[in-house]
Each structure stands twice: as structure tokens, then as C-alpha cells.
Structure 1
């Protein structure tokens, strides 16, 4: 159990970066292979307390997003934003103590000590509330929410994410900001796990529609910049002498052929937004699958895979995971020829890069072969998957693979 919690906490820490990206940290396995994580912080009367009850929830946590602030940005903000000029001694002492507590909390998580991290965060939150420091409040809320989420404390995580969202919106942050959408995605995922289906569907729809509208607006801005640039060139053209007219027209043609280049920052924001859309579509696909709406689940998953391929590349570890997921979904829908092509591609890519979930990919391959009637090949892949799962000490995957072998033996006995 401790190893499960620690693995999930490391994933949550790795995802505090600015971009909500697809990456190796966000590796999820076949939908039937789950983890169970328990315990987490709770909220009572605005203060954080330790919850004595243990509540579990299944599911690999592959959708951690930013936790409000990146570490370096937080320390810089704390160091310079509280008290400019002549700070009072007591306020300065609290500020230094809060910074130390946040550093200790982060180190505790890296050392697989979630209980100690919770205690440090609880103390830091109290100081942040006294100092009215919004950056520190947001950091504490979102980090504690992610800890609660990966430990299965869904109600607790919901309250903390909402508290963090309140801090973000109180700053005048627009509702379509990526930080708002990331928290909205986590809330929608929580609602889905709690079977609060209307809220979950509304949340996923908000995320998808907001991101699509944002991308549309960015495209319109880009086109408007091109038009304005073209008009500017035309005005200059009118002022030039007749002998330079030809040269101006050539520049205009070149401008039309070559699209206006975005700045590096604009390119990063655009990529971040597209990857976040892919993440939302992947989450909503699993939501549709849980509701047995496989048509909409397939559509969302194909779009998510397309975005990941374009932004991350065909051989990226997350692309491999999405290929496997789509193959398993197609197997559920009975489209086994395409499912076999996709899972074979995922397994081949996984072998070349020593994918951390290679044993799960092999298990998915064996299951699809079994459903296709190729029992000998299915047995071969199940054995390879079992050996690798034992080597990597993935007990739950071992159990899943053994269940597949039982199904295989039952099929042979028919």
C-alpha cells in the first residue's frame, strides 16, 4: 500500500510544472489494471485535519496537472512579494517559517513520507492564511488536493481543489485560463468516480468547449495579425516611388506565402493548450467508456491520440499508451483487425524504448489475440507479460495476467 501511495505522489509532484503535458509521468495502463490508494487530509471549518477513516479508490492516477505553482516560482514569489522595504520582524519570521515548511513538505513527498508532508503543509497553510499570501495558499491547496486525490480521498480532494480554484478566480483570472480548466478537469474526474454523472458530463463539456473556443480565438488573432501586417505593407507601398513598386509587390507575395511566425512564448502557450485538450479528451473518453457509450469514447480517444502524435511524436511513451488504450477500446467494440494493428505497433514501440508499462502492453496484446481466437499466440504473450510483471514487482498486473491465463485455459477446454 505504501509503495502505491508513494508512486502516485511522485507522479503528482512531477506534474506541478507550468505545462499540462502528455509525458512519461502520465502513463496509465489497461483500464482493467488498477491501483488502490487510501487516506488523505480532510477539511473542517476551513482548517486541514487528519482524517481517521480510510477510504479507497481504484484507478491509476495519470492526470495530475499543475499544482498551482512551480517550486522555483513559488520561492521567488515568497521571497519578494510579501513585505517590500521595512518588514516587521514578526511578519518576516512567519514568512521564513512558511518557506521552510513548504520545502520540508516537498522533501517529505520525495522521500515517500506523505503523512509528514501533510503535517508541514497544514502548518504552512495556517501561516499563509495569516499572511494573506495568495501564491502560498494556492500552492498548499493544490498540493494537498493532489495528495488527497491519489490516496482516494475524493470528497477531500474536491473541497481542496475548489478552494484553490477560488483563489485563482479571486485574482481576476478568466474562466478559460488553462489553470482553471486543469482544476475543472480534476473535479469532473472526481464526479465521474463518484457517479455524479450530470456534474461530470457538464465539467468535461466545459473543459472541451473552453479549450476549443480558446484555440479558435488564437487562430483568429493569428489571422488578424497577418491581415494587419498585409495592410501595413500596402500602405507603405503607396508611399514608395514607382520604380520600387515591383520590389514591394514581391515582398507582399512573400508575406502571403510565409505565415506570420509566432513568438516562442506564443508557441509554448499554443502547444500547452493543445496538449491540455488532448488530456481532457482522453479523460472524457474513459468517462464515456464507464457509461458504455463506446462510440463517443472512441471518437474522443482518436482525437487525443492525434494531438499526442502531432505534438509529442509517434514514439513518445504517452503515444504508446494511447495506442494501447485505443486498441483495447476497439477490441471491446469488436473491431479486432484494427485493434491488432494498433496494439502490435504499441508493443513494438514499447520494446524499443523499454517502456515502463511494457508488461501491460503485452497483456493487452494477449487479450486481443485471445478474443481473436489465436490461442497459441495469446498464451505466448501472456507468459512474456507475466515474467516481466514479476520482474518489475507489479503484483496487481500479475493478478490481471493470471486471470487472462485462466480465461485462456477455459477457452481451450471448450
Structure 2
């Protein structure tokens, strides 16, 4: 299996004009069962050489609620609310700096302040950050509990289950279940996210601009793209390649339409499609997609250019084009070393070893 391109992992809220947004989902009256997250790329023990870090998109779930507290000038901020905002910003900065214990300590203090002033929006946002932090630290069971608590507060505040922020958290929960090998819950979570967003998009397609802005439509479609991408990576890790291919194709179409051909995530998805086709032994088709990804990566100075190079070399190896495969493997290795990417270096060296074995076998057969 090829390396897969890395999807950026963020600490703090995700920009609505960045790469894939975050996600949400859950079936009515089953909040305690499903809830989701971006699915891990390669799970331990799997054969999926995912270049994407098994991580979480620490997103804006609940941010739409709490942001009003920060940005609504008419509402006005109390000294208590200003103090909470200060602590939340401080905790996110600590997370970005990798100071996880300090971030956790700040968030516990923030939660106490939020409860003390009875700000439901602040409570929701703080619980969401605590859950994200737990996930980043690999504390999946704790993260699950905290995300469920966040969803419970959101429901009490009247947030609908097809609200994007609700689906974001649900997607995170699905990824947690995937990481914990709770596969039935993971699949139910991913499917619920996708179904909920499909239904929402269909329901809202004829709404006028004054009721639903173009940006809101784009956000929902990009959220669907992220859900499709996340579920596809889960399926690849579980060797359900045809289904994964279909989801990648849908995600790629959304990404191209909403973010353009040159967007880094478009390149990622082209490379991911190549990995799925390569795993099915469809090497010529895989080469077509990885060639597109590589051409775009060259134009845009893509941060994972070395990964895509390695993918192309692997496909060329399968096509028995050993001369070009060796040349590109060596270029990929040089760039991976420059990036100080040990995972890519390891897989590229594996590819070079296989190439050497094939060259030796060819020489012996002459």
C-alpha cells in the first residue's frame, strides 16, 4: 500500500476557508452511542501506509455558539466572560506549543469559571477543547466522555443534530471508536454524519441567499467532504477498498468544486485515490491519479511532495518500470530526509529494498 498524504492537524478552531472543515453527526436519541471524529489514517497493525497522521481535526465544534460571546458587540462582555476568553486563548496557545499538561490545568480552571458565571456557551466550548486535548494525548476513553458531555449541553441549548458543529463532534466520536476498535459504533457514526449532511444539503438546496448564504452552503459541503474522506480512510484501514474508492471520488469532486484544483486537499485526495487503486492492483489507473497529484504538487510547492513522489515510485515499481522507479525513489528519499519525516523515509527505503530484489531477480533470469 502506498503512503497517503498528510492532512493538517490543528489545535484550536479550524478556519472555514482552510482545508477540510470539521464535523458532526448522531442519530436521534442515540447521542450516547454515536459521536464522531476524523478517523485515524493507519491503525497499529494494519497494512495501510497512511501518510496522514492518525489525529484529530481540533475544530470549531461549539465555536459557533461561543463566538457570539466574543464577537457580539451588542451583547457586551462581563468581566467574568472576559476572564474566561483570556483563559481559553491561553489554553489553545499551550496546546499549539505542545504544553499539554499546562493546557489541561488552564481548561479545568476555565471550566470552573464558566460554571461559576453560568455561561452555557463557555461551558460547551471549554468541554470541547478538553475533549480535543484528551484525544491529542491518546486518552480516547476520556475524550469520548468529554465529547458526549459537550453534545449533551449543546442539545440542552437547542442545537439541532444536523447543525454543522454537532456533526463535527460526532465525526470526532466516530474516529475515537475507530481508534478503540469499536467498529460497529465507528461505522454507524461515519454513516450517520454522511447521511445527515446529504439530507441537509438536499433540504436546503432551494433556499434563497437571504436564508442561507453561499458561505454556509460551502461549509456544509466541505464538512461532507471531510466526512467522506474520514470514512474512506477507515475503510482502507479495514481493506474495504471499492467502497473507499467511491467515497474518495465523491470527496474529490466536492473539494475541486469548492476549493479548486490547486488546493492542497485536492492533491491529497488525488494521491489517496491512487493508493486505493494501487491496493486493488489497478496500477495504470493509479498512475494516472498520482501523476495528476504530482503535477499539482510541483506547481503549488505542496508540503507532502516527497510522499507523492514515493507513491509514484511504488506504482512504477509495480509496473516493472524499475529505472524510473529507482530514480524517483531516490529523489523522494532526499526530500523526505530534508523534511525529517521518519515514516516516509522508512517506507521509501522499503520500496528501494523491494526494487533491489526485483533487479536481482531479473538479472538472474537473464
TM-score class normalised by the smaller sequence: 0.7 to 0.9
Q: Show the 5 A alignment for 1:1-16.
A: 11-13=9-11, 15-16=13-14
Give the whole-Å Cα distance in 2 for the aligned partners of 1:308 and 1:118.
35
Aligned residues: 333
Give the whole-Å Cα distance in 2 for the aligned partners of 1:345 and 1:180.
35
Give the whole-Å Cα distance in 1 for the aligned partners of 2:342 and 2:224.
33
Runs of 4+ in 1 over 6 A off after TM superposition: none
State whether structure 2 residue 73 is matched by structure 1 residue 75.
no
Segments of structure 1 that go 5 or more residues without pairing to the other structure are 1-6, 36-58, 84-91, 226-261
The 10-residue stretch of structure 1 (66-75 or 112-121) with the greater mean CA deviation from structure 2 = 66-75
* Corresponding residue number in structure 2 for 1:228: none
1:115 CA displacement: 2.2
State whether structure 2 residue 271 is matched by structure 1 residue 273.
no
State whether structure 2 residue 185 is matched by structure 1 residue 199.
yes
* Corresponding residue number in structure 2 for 1:61: 55
Q: Show the 5 A alignment for 1:233-244.
A: none
1:371 CA displacement: 1.4
Match of 1:407 among 342, 354, 366: 354
State whether structure 2 residue 269 is matched by structure 1 residue 345.
no
State whether structure 2 residue 122 is matched by structure 1 residue 136.
yes
State whether structure 2 residue 89 is matched by structure 1 residue 103.
yes
Structure 1, residues 146-181: CA drift from partner, whole Å, max 9, x if none?
Answer: 222223221122112111111211111111111111
1:20 CA displacement: 8.1
The Cα RMSD (Å) is: 2.8
Decide whether the 8 Å contact of 2:92 with 2:103 is kept in 1. yes
The 10-residue stretch of structure 1 (171-180 or 399-408) with the greater mean CA deviation from structure 2 = 399-408
SS, match of residue 13 in structure 1: coil
Decide whether the 8 Å contact of 2:56 with 2:172 is kept in 1. no
Decide whether the 8 Å contact of 2:313 with 2:325 is kept in 1. yes
Decide whether the 8 Å contact of 1:33 with 1:396 is kept in 2. no
1:98 CA displacement: 2.8
Structure 1, residues 349-376: CA drift from partner, whole Å, max 9, x if none?
Answer: 1111111111111111111111121111
* Corresponding residue number in structure 1 for 2:34: none
Give the whole-Å Cα distance in 2 for the aligned partners of 1:168 and 1:96.
22
* Corresponding residue number in structure 1 for 2:264: 317
Greater helix proportion: 1
**1:291–1:112 CA distance, 2 compared to 1 (3 A):** closer
Q: Show the 5 A alignment for 1:11-410.
A: 11-13=9-11, 15-17=13-15, 21-22=19-20, 32-33=49-50, 59-61=53-55, 63-69=57-63, 73-76=68-71, 80=75, 92=79, 94-219=80-205, 221-222=206-207, 262-263=209-210, 266-410=213-357
Decide whether the 8 Å contact of 1:33 with 1:400 is kept in 2. no
1:341 CA displacement: 0.9
Give the whole-Å Cα distance in 2 for the aligned partners of 1:159 and 1:401.
39
Structure 1, residues 225-258: CA drift from partner, whole Å, max 9, x if none?
Answer: 7xxxxxxxxxxxxxxxxxxxxxxxxxxxxxxxxx
Give the whole-Å Cα distance in 1 for the aligned partners of 2:194 and 2:112.
35
